[in-house]
Structures are given as C-alpha cells and as structure tokens.
Structure 1
Amino acid sequence: MDEPTGAELLGTVARYLRETLLPKLPPEAVFHTRVAANAVDLVRRQLELGAGLETEELARLRALLGREGSLDELNRALSERISAGELGERTPGLMEHLWATTLAKMAVDQPAYASYRRELELRQGEGAEPSGG
C-alpha cells in the first residue's frame, strides 16, 4: 500500500482540528484553532494545485508575450507592458489570462468564496474550462 501524500496528511490534520478538537476546546481557543485548520487546508491546496496552476499560467504568459522566461520574469514583463500601455483590455488573450490567473489563485486561497463559486458556475455554463477549480 502506498504512503499517504503530504496533501492527504494535511487534509487529515485539518479534519481532526475541525471535527475532533474544535468541539472540545474552550471558546478562547476556537478562533485560533480555526485559523490553524484554514492554514493547513491552504497549504494542502498549494501542494495539490500549485504546480499545475503555475504550469498553466506560464504557458499562457509565453503565448501572450511570445517569449520564454520564468514565471516571475514573464509576470514582470506583462506588468511592464500593461503599465506602458502596450497591452490592454483589447489585447487578444489578455483578459482571459488575467481571469484564469485570478481564478487559479482563488482555487488555492479561497475556494469557498461566493463570488469565486459564481464565476466558476458562469464559466462552466459558457463551456469555458476553469483553471484548477
């Protein structure tokens, strides 16, 4: 039998904090335990989704900018070109890239956020593939 992944272990810790420990804690410890469980879940989602989402973002940036580079380099170049007015909302692919990147970050940081969920539902209804949601 395979060992559990780091993400699976973190999921187990978060469930333990919420389902077993939290109901037994005094009120003054509940908030901090929820914060800890949320932090564990955030790291779990980073492990599960992060590399794939970064790969997708890098591919979009390379296509949009027509050049190679690291994720940081290409994001910096994108920001500079937007700031200089070279790229804007009418640039083919730019707005979709920005939305996809935002939704990917939300998938890791705040997947239960109501506006994020609505946008995913809207995009799925339009046939667009959400990134990492």
Structure 2
Amino acid sequence: MHDAPSQKEMIQAVKAFIDNTAMPSLKGHAAFHARVASNVLATVLREMDIRPEAESEEVQRLTELLGTEPGQSAVALNKLLCEQIRSGEMSLTRPGLLSHLKTTTIAQLSVDQPGYSGLKTS
C-alpha cells in the first residue's frame, strides 16, 4: 500500500501555501503571479473533480448522437462531430445536438469559469 499524499492533496497543499503564506507577503507583480498560480491550481483541482464524469457523459451522448460503436475517445468523437457539422451532414435540427452542445459547454465552464453568471441560469 502506498501512503503518500494523492495528487489532489499535493496540489491542495501547494495552493494553500500560495494563498495563505506566500501571497499575503507579496506585492505588485509577484502578488499578481501568485494569484495566477493559485487560480491555475484551482482550475486543475476542478478538472480532477469534474472532468472524468463529464467526459464519460459526453462520450455517451456523442456515441448515441453519432450512432457509433462504444469505445471511441471523446477526441475521436468530437472530431467526427465537427466533420459532420462542416459537411452539412449534421445540423442543429438533429434531435439531441443542441442539448449536447449546451451540456458540454456548461461542463467546461464549470471547470474553467465556475463563477460565470450564465451557469446560475443553466
């Protein structure tokens, strides 16, 4: 058994150090960079919490929407979706496409910009 801290715990520790120890004693440009570093770590933590389930759900929606066999990656499925939209084979009149796009966008915003006001109305 490996008792070392998890990746999430290590990131949380670094973020806590930046927020509680380093940032309060910094001024000007250094304080700005510390804030950026803290925000990046917060994004990584949200990514770790949200991304696996969101991506799994995205793959399920895309597999159904595109009528493909299960087992393809989100990257491959999104490439196929883009190709079908570009070619005109798929449009917003396709049942489920608009809902998929909204759901995927909301999941991404939840990671990248959780304070985005539009998330409160979704």
Provide the aligned C-alpha RMSD in A: 1.7
1:23-75 residue CA offsets vs partner (Å, 9 max, x unmatched): 11122311100111111111112222221111111000001011022212111
1:15 is aligned to 2:12: no
Overall identity of the aligned pairs, in %: 39
Counterpart AA for 1:74:
L
Structure 2 unaligned residues grouped into runs of 5+: none
CA distance in 2, matches of 1:5, 1:96: 35
Structure 1 residue 81, shift from structure 2 partner: 0.8
Contact 1:14 1:41 in 2 (8 A): yes
Tell me the TM-score normalized by structure 2.
0.85
Where in structure 1 do 4 or more consecutive aligned residues deviate above 4 Å?
none
CA distance in 1, matches of 2:31, 2:60: 42
Distance 1:112 1:11, change over 3 A: farther
1:105 is aligned to 2:108: yes
Distance 1:72 1:41, change over 3 A: same
Structure 1 residue 3, shift from structure 2 partner: 5.8
1:128 alignment partner in structure 2: none
SS where residue 107 of structure 1 aligns? helix
1:81 alignment partner in structure 2: 84
CA distance in 1, matches of 2:91, 2:13: 44
Say which is worse superposed, 30-39 or 63-72, in terms of deviation.
Answer: 63-72
Structure 1 unaligned residues grouped into runs of 5+: 124-133
